[in-house]
């Protein structure tokens, strides 16, 4: 039992540290930027996209502010939420 815990414990910390890493935050902000560009291009042909674009754009700005202040966990939360809703409209 102790060996199992000692084996699993390092993986938990590695995953948790990766979620708070600046690299993951930057990658998700980059992806979200692309999603927003596609959504913006679709607004002319699909006006209802505006209703989703505005909150996703707000989350994008909040994620950038969180990244700039060094709060990478909040950054990944904001980008995760924005990508969850924005990806569907960027297809």
pLDDT one-digit tens code per residue, 67-90: 999 999 999 999 999 999 999 988
Mark the ranges of the chain whose per-residue pLDDT is less than 70.
1-20
CA angle 87, 88, 91 (to 5 degrees): 85
CA separation for the pair 7, 63 (Å, rounded): 34
Map 18-84 to HEC letters: HHCCHHHHHHHHHHHHHHHHHHHHHCCCCCCHHHHHHHHHHHHHHHHHHHHCCCHHHHHHHHHHHHH
CA separation for the pair 66, 82 (Å, rounded): 14
pTM comes to 0.75
């Amino acid at each position: 039992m102790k060996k199992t815990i000692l084996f699993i414990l390092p993986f938990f910390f590695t995953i948790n540290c990766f979620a708070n890493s600046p690299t993951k935050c930057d990658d998700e902000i980059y992806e979200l930027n692309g999603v927003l560009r596609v959504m913006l291009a679709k607004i002319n042909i699909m006006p209802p996209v505006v209703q989703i674009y505005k909150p996703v754009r707000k989350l994008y700005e909040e994620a950038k502010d969180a990244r700039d202040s060094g709060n990478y966990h909040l950054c990944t939360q904001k980008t995760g939420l924005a990508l969850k809703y924005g990806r569907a409209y960027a297809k």
